Amino acid sequence: YLAYSKYHYANNNSRVFDLCLYDVNLEEKRWITNDLRATYPVFTQENEIIFVSHKNSTSNLYKVDIYDVKQKEQLTFYKEDVQILTPSISKDGKELIFAMAKQDGNLDIYSLNLITNDVSRKTFDEAVDYLPIFDKDENIIFTSHRNGIPNLFKLDKNNSITQCTDLSEGVWGIQLDPK
Query: Tens digits of per-residue pLDDT, 18-44?
Result: 999 999 999 999 999 988 899 999 999
pLDDT at 14: 79
CB neighbours (10 Å) of residue 14?
10
Please state, in angstroms and rounded to a whole number, the distance separating the CA atoms of residues 28 and 8. Answer: 17
CB neighbours (10 Å) of residue 134?
19
**pLDDT higher at 13 or 135:** 135
pLDDT at 42: 95
pLDDT at 62: 97
What's at 75, amino acid-wise?
L
pLDDT at 112: 98
Q: What does the pLDDT average to over 2-7?
A: 90
What is the DSSP-derived secondary structure letter of residue 36?
A: S
Closest CA to 106 of 88, 124, 133, 86: 124
| Contact present, 108 and 125 (Cβ < 8 Å) | yes
Q: Is the pLDDT of residue 178 over 70?
A: no
Q: What does the pLDDT average to over 152-169?
A: 94
Radius of gyration of the chain measured on its C-alpha atoms: 17
